[in-house]
Structure 1
Amino acid sequence: MNTIARLTVTGFAAAAVMGVVSPTVAWKQDKFVITFWCPPPATDANLSAVAAEGYNLTWAPADALDTVHKHGLKALLQDPLINPSSLDNPEQTQMLRALIDRVKDHPAIEGYYVTDEPGSGAFSGLGRLVRFIREHDPKHLSYINLFPTYATKEQLGVSADAVERAKVGIPTNFAGSGTNAETIAAYREYLNNFISIVKPELISYDHYHFLKDGDGSQYFLNLELIREAALKAKLPFLNIIQACTIEPSWRQVNRNELRFLVYTTLAYGGKGISYFLYWGPKSYGGLYQDGLRTELALDAAEINRELRQIGPILLNMQSRAVYHSKPLPIGTRAIPARSAIRVFGDGQYVLGLFGNGRKTTAFMIVNRDYRKPSTALVQLANPNAIIEEFDRHTGEWIGYPVDRITGKILVSLAPGDGRLFRISPVY
């Protein structure tokens, strides 16, 4: 195990003791979130396409909520008043209260968009705003998205002041933060402060992994640190994944890389996927470019159809553990010799275990190689266990053949793809 992986893994036990638990909140996630950043104009034609492509959440101003509802979608409300500074001005505070009263009973409302990538210096004001929203509308989400691990210490700590934010910039590549114990400690502190001060209902973050000169080194580290914080706080988490080339250092992802980003998130217990970005000019390289749908948008729609089936199943499953086959990426654990499920083969795999307490009731295997298919040899601790696979096309559990002498099954995986199984009896 390399030094960074060892630093990360040994830190997990300490975090379990130090974990921050979020207080009880009224908003509860009732569906797997499938959404995006940079929504299209909220016209009938655009929202009809959004719904047909399998999304269930868009973003919209108050006057577009009826159109959102017409197409069976939910929305995050966008309005300049949803800002901590509104609470410093009595007139704007009254206007914000009136806005909330206007929309809170609308059937299309899922929540309120608050901000993107705040530093910890902004958490106090954000906590105040979240409390205000919750006081006047406890049923809906206050949505805030967080920095990735490769943000610099200055970015993680910046205040809400526009001038200060401009000075520290935004994360554009991995040059700002190396992968070391200091990076891990700083990010854990950032997450713990966010949870304890802001008291969110959901943890959302972004991480952009695919660069023109190779892949980033912190993708799985970020996933694990988010998973760890979400479990300790008893909160769901959502991953914003790369689907554009808005930054010069990013490469255009293909369908296998997109599938890799989605299914690795699922294996880690994620409860939502957001694509960055959906709508923009051709220069952004997003799913829609100058109003025209790209091939990658069709690939995302195909994955979304699968998420509409598998998402409700995973929504009710709790992540127990996540392991990797060798070579171990930074921030990951090897599959223990006594694991109820072990994976062998020439490929590279992610193994996500789900269940209740110490009992494994389901598992997901993901092909970590997004370039070529692989066949995993899966060893069951109990050769008499009944294995069923979830068919993400029909939404049904289907019996899966097990060698009763060896307790082994073979699982074929397309590049970057994952498959979900359940076990009976449980371990």
Structure 2
Amino acid sequence: MRFFRSIHCLIVVLTLLTSLQVSAQKKKEEFLISIYSPPPAKFLNDKQYQVLKDAYVDILLNIGPGVKSDKEGNLQTLDLARKYGFKVYVFDGRLSLGDDKIREMVSDYKAHPALGGYYITDEPDSARLKSAVDLMNKVKKLDPEKDAYINHLPDWAVNNYEHGFLERYIKLAGKENINYLAYDNYPYKRKQKLEKTYFNNLDIIRRVGLKYNIKTSSCLQSFGMYVSGVEELRRPKADEIRMNVYSNLAYGIKNPVWYPYWTQDNMSSITMSLCVIDSAGVKTDMYEPFRQMNGEMKRLGKTLINLDAQEVYHTGDSLWLGTVRPPADFILKIQDEKADFILSRLVAKSSGEEYVMVVNRSFKQSRKMTFQVKDSVKKMKEISKINGKPVKSSFRAETHQITESFLPGEGKLFQIN
């Protein structure tokens, strides 16, 4: 009997350890990359999903022209996504048909292993915010382990954005129910202009995310758009895509969301440029920069997912709305103060270890730049974009300087010791 009791105790202990291990794995944070407008229903096949897999995508927001958003369409997408290791945020019209239909909807998808969450709504204004959160919370009560996703308007579209809108949203929803504080604000306007609130919006999202300890999410621009024949947003080039990516990372974004992946045709008064994939399922010239940037984000993301962007500064002749120059005692002092750079101090949540990200804010020209490093810094290692590990940088301890070359829009992440 004593022998059997010992065996029983051992089984209990092993079961408990396994349970704790599974729990720890579930809680492990990941840097995830999402897309709007995945392949539509008639292109729901292995070929297109392999193209997505090759580009390091993690999450499919299952909404867009040609995407089947009923039960059958969502389940077909979930099944194929499971095969390729993707998660899907389902979009289902039953969400707006009352409590019974919501319960039915959640029941249909809840157990599927490829389910990442539920797409609730896009860009609710102040008047719609409470009703959007009510739907979100109904879904979360039925499936608390999954995300219930709301994407928000940018700062220029809502009055009192930071305190009267975003903080109201968090208080209504409960911060424990929000996986990502998500929004969109596309930087590349017509006539080579940059959206003037672009950096201000990133900083607001950064501040609110830090205040409430919520991961942040932002849309990346992968389209140009004409409205009634007039260009409103320009199609970004590879260098512009790079700046869009690295400026988001410098501000602590943990879930970049490309909008859109698939080119949308037949949109009445709106004409969209070619996106990552054209409407016939063929890669465009945007695919390779998309794939390359995703690969770099995934590798740097192994470190970035555990870092908070505590301070973000800008250099250059003219500062944008919401940006400030670095203080005299900042970790790095730029040699040419007229050069356009973003300097971000990031701190590891658990260890307090410091990092700095340096971004060439210019998406038009490459730069080679020297920075004077604070005397207290003894070592600087770069986080490799090839394998995500710390590697030797150009830091010289005897002069306390670091000199690096940057492509247009490129960022580099350094570990500080």
TM-score by length of 1: 0.80
> Is residue 73 from structure 1 mapped to residue 86 from structure 2 by the alignment?
yes
User: Which of 191, 194, 197 is equivalent to 2:166?
Assistant: 191
Which secondary structure does the structure 1 equivalent of 2:252 belong to?
coil
User: Which of 272, 277, 294 is equivalent to 1:284?
Assistant: 272
Counterpart of 1:274 in structure 2 is 257
What is the distance in 1 between the residues matched to 2:264 and 2:199?
Answer: 31
The 1:224–1:257 alpha-carbon spacing in structure 2 relative to 1, beyond 3 Å, is same
Counterpart of 1:150 in structure 2 is 156
Matches within 5 A, 1:37-116: 37-41=36-40, 42-60=44-62, 61-83=74-96, 86-87=97-98, 93-116=99-122
The 1:398–1:66 alpha-carbon spacing in structure 2 relative to 1, beyond 3 Å, is same
What is the distance in 2 between the residues matched to 1:402 and 1:63?
Answer: 52
Counterpart of 2:15 in structure 1 is none
Task: Return the offset for 1:384.
Answer: 5.1
Task: Return the offset for 1:343.
Answer: 2.6
Task: Return the offset for 1:66.
Answer: 1.2
What is the distance in 1 between the residues matched to 2:264 and 2:377?
Answer: 56
Q: 1:181-235: CA deviations, max 9, x gaps? A: xx6x345422112111133331111111111222221110111111111111111
> Max radius of gyration: which structure?
2
Counterpart of 2:373 in structure 1 is 380
What is the distance in 2 between the residues matched to 1:382 and 1:82?
Answer: 57
Counterpart of 2:219 in structure 1 is 240
Could you tell me whether the CA contact under 8 Å between 2:215 and 2:253 is conserved in 1?
yes
Task: Return the offset for 1:360.
Answer: 5.9
Counterpart of 2:8 in structure 1 is none
> Is residue 354 from structure 1 mapped to residue 367 from structure 2 by the alignment?
no
What is the distance in 1 between the residues matched to 2:154 and 2:313?
Answer: 21
Q: 1:352-406: CA deviations, max 9, x gaps? A: 1111589661010000001001122222213651111011112221122333233
What is the distance in 1 between the residues matched to 2:144 and 2:246?
Answer: 32
The 1:277–1:368 alpha-carbon spacing in structure 2 relative to 1, beyond 3 Å, is same
What is the distance in 1 between the residues matched to 2:302 and 2:118?
Answer: 23
- Give the unaligned 5+ runs of structure 1: 1-26, 88-92, 157-182
User: Which of 326, 332, 336 is equivalent to 1:341?
Assistant: 332
What is the distance in 1 between the residues matched to 2:52 and 2:161?
Answer: 38
What is the distance in 2 between the residues matched to 1:188 and 1:73?
Answer: 35
Counterpart of 1:128 in structure 2 is 134
- Give the unaligned 5+ runs of structure 2: 1-25, 63-73, 266-270
Counterpart of 2:201 in structure 1 is 222
Task: Return the offset for 1:29.
Answer: 7.6
Which secondary structure does the structure 2 equivalent of 1:210 belong to?
coil
Could you tell me whether the CA contact under 8 Å between 1:383 and 1:402 is conserved in 2?
no
Which secondary structure does the structure 1 equivalent of 2:156 belong to?
coil
Task: Return the offset for 1:28.
Answer: 6.3
* Most deviating of 60-69 and 282-291: 282-291
> Is residue 316 from structure 1 mapped to residue 294 from structure 2 by the alignment?
no
Could you tell me whether the CA contact under 8 Å between 1:77 and 1:111 is conserved in 2?
yes
> Is residue 206 from structure 1 mapped to residue 196 from structure 2 by the alignment?
no
Counterpart of 2:245 in structure 1 is 262
Task: Return the offset for 1:130.
Answer: 1.9
Could you tell me whether the CA contact under 8 Å between 2:367 and 2:408 is conserved in 1?
yes
Could you tell me whether the CA contact under 8 Å between 2:60 and 2:89 is conserved in 1?
yes
- Greater relative CO (CA pairs within 8 A, separation 6+): 1
Could you tell me whether the CA contact under 8 Å between 2:36 and 2:258 is conserved in 1?
yes
Task: Return the offset for 1:316.
Answer: 0.8
Which secondary structure does the structure 2 equivalent of 1:124 belong to?
helix
Could you tell me whether the CA contact under 8 Å between 2:95 and 2:101 is conserved in 1?
no
Task: Return the offset for 1:344.
Answer: 2.9
Q: 1:121-147: CA deviations, max 9, x gaps? A: 122222222221111111110011000
Q: 1:264-294: CA deviations, max 9, x gaps? A: 0000001011111111246421222222211
Could you tell me whether the CA contact under 8 Å between 2:32 and 2:298 is conserved in 1?
no
Could you tell me whether the CA contact under 8 Å between 2:342 and 2:360 is conserved in 1?
yes
What is the distance in 2 between the residues matched to 1:392 and 1:383?
Answer: 26
> Is residue 302 from structure 1 mapped to residue 292 from structure 2 by the alignment?
yes
Q: Which amino acid aligns with 1:217?
A: K
Q: Which amino acid aligns with 1:271?
A: K
Could you tell me whether the CA contact under 8 Å between 2:379 and 2:397 is conserved in 1?
no
What is the distance in 1 between the residues matched to 2:341 and 2:194?
Answer: 17
CA RMSD of aligned residues (A): 2.0
TM-score by length of 2: 0.82
Could you tell me whether the CA contact under 8 Å between 1:236 and 1:270 is conserved in 2?
yes
Q: Which amino acid aligns with 1:197?
A: L
What is the distance in 1 between the residues matched to 2:256 and 2:240?
Answer: 14
